[in-house]
Amino acid sequence: MKKSMFLAASVLVTLSMLSGCAGGGQPAPAPADKGASSAPSAPPKVNLKLVQGKIEVTDQVKQMAADYTKEHPNVNIEVQVVRDLDTALKTRFASGDEPDIFFTKSFSGIRDWSERLLDLSNEPWMSQVMDYALPGMTINGKKLGFPTALEGYGFIYNKDLFAKAGIDKVPTTLTALKETNEKLKAAGIQSYSEAYKEYFVLGRNLFNLPFAYAKDPTGLIGNISGGTAKVQDVPLMNNFFDLLDMTAKYGRGAESVGVSYDNQVADFAAGKTAMMQQGVWTIDLINKANPNLNFGMFAVPLTDNPSDTKLPVDIPTYYVINKDSKQLEEAKKFLTWLHKNGQKYLVESMHLIPAFKDLKATKELGPLATDMSVYVENNQTIPWAYALWPSGMDVQFTKALQAYVGGQLTREKALEEVQKSWNTALKK
């Protein structure tokens, strides 16, 4: 792994006295004053390596890094924005190419990387972090992260297509969701083109729902990890499969396992589908593809009780600092600068809903943030319970769920594979 190094320029000036007389009988010049100061040297060059997820803000992150370099000419920020964050981090640390600053997931990521992370408890911006963001980044009393954003996800829907199908309100029960799909079908409108090729869509966000809707997600997941319960015991697991069946039946069917995130968003933005299971982070991609689209977001129902239906909202990721970085002070300076300029970069540029008290969400964040805020204000939210799963399980679970969507596994067999993956992870 390449290590960031200070590059120092050293100039050695050797002065020798001139002997004898110069031509014309002129006296030899006096020796140069050894105490005279030379021109001031430039600050040492610093290379910061930053790795993060959220590919939808790749351009914005690179611009942020470029702007930092303009203000700090001696600092270069090497940016890598990746789709599969876990794999990228494991690969870079294993190869020795360790980043100085990197993204990690709420709680599970913080927990798994905690031995490598710098304690940020005393950083100047920490007092402005929302209480909502503290649990996911605190290990043994140490605050290890810089929260990136408050995010939520559900079904994003095309309001004009809903109106065309005679749908005047969003569904709040599983039965109502089926009725909504039937109305869309009758109007010749495809409901979904779900990106089940992607682990974060199927094996993480969607599969999170039955765990998050449990009365005690922490206790339930703890029991599964402790061997006193199995995934088959999750109360709403059958409801989850009913939901999954619905998205396939009224969407692309088995072909869903080949649909990418980019294709999913493109189909929705083009009006080819009425809904997609995604979150507030898609706002820029949608607006870029179709700035005139009339859309919103609602919580995915998993029961037939409307009061049960809530939106998953949490802090998904944090910036953290590698405690073994050779550039600790510069890395801390960068996070301080990012907080100071958070309104410009996090809110206005990346369109993130800030997790700091002194940064303010704006109307420009769009309809998804507006709809999410209603659920937050009405206390109609559920957690991102997948943060409590063993590390990397979302990728493993996706394989079994893809096989189910593709018709290779039954519900029972798919859950058996999920349980096997869980058991294997606990043995490592």
- Give 217-270 as a DSSP string: HHHHHHHHHHTS--GGG-TTHHHHHHHHHHHHHTTTGGGGGG--HHHHHHHHHT
d(CA 249, CA 239): 15
Alpha helices of 57-157 — where are they, by DSSP H? Answer: 58-71, 85-95, 108-113
- At residue 13, the pLDDT reads 31
* CA nearest neighbour of 428 among 398, 393, 387, 385: 393
Q: Where in the chain is the domain with CATH 3.40.190.10?
A: 46-150+315-358, 152-314+381-427
Q: What is the dihedral of CA 165, 169, 170, 175, to 10 degrees?
A: -80
Q: What is the SS3 assignment for 181? A: helix
Question: In degrees rounded to 5, what are phi and psi of residue 187?
Answer: -90, 5
Domain 46-150+315-358 is in which class? alpha beta
- At residue 39, the pLDDT reads 54
**Which residues make Cβ contacts (< 8 Å) with residue 104, sequence separation at least 6?**
85, 89, 110, 112, 113, 145, 317, 318, 320
Q: Which letter does DSSP use for residue 326 in this model? A: T
d(CA 30, CA 80): 56
d(CA 210, CA 302): 8
d(CA 341, CA 349): 11
Q: Which letter does DSSP use for residue 349 in this model? A: I
Question: In degrees rounded to 5, what are phi and psi of residue 307?
Answer: -70, -15
The CATH classification number of 152-314+381-427 equals 3.40.190.10
Residue with tokens 């990418």: 260
Q: What is the mean pLDDT of each run of 10 residues along the chain (428 residues)?
A: 36 32 41 50 88 93 98 97 93 97 90 96 96 90 96 97 98 98 98 97 97 95 96 97 98 98 98 97 93 98 97 94 97 98 94 90 84 90 92 93 98 98 89
- At residue 32, the pLDDT reads 46
- At residue 14, the pLDDT reads 34
Q: Which token pair is 27?
A: 């006296």
Q: Where are the beta strands (DSSP E) in 33-167?
A: 46-52, 75-81, 101-105, 138-139, 142-143, 146-147, 151-158
d(CA 346, CA 64): 9
Asked whether 109 and 317 are in contact (CB, 8 A), the reply is yes
- Specify whether the backbone of 321 is left (phi greater than 0), alpha (psi in -120 to 50) or beta: beta
Q: Which token pair is 245?
A: 């069946």
Q: What is the SS3 assignment for 381? A: strand
Q: What Cα–Cα distance (Å) separates residue 321 from each residue in 216, 359, 363?
A: 32, 22, 32
- List, in sequence order, every residue forming a beta bridge with 190; answer none if it has no partner: 273
d(CA 276, CA 268): 7
- Single pTM value for the model: 0.76
d(CA 380, CA 148): 22
Size (the chain), residues: 428
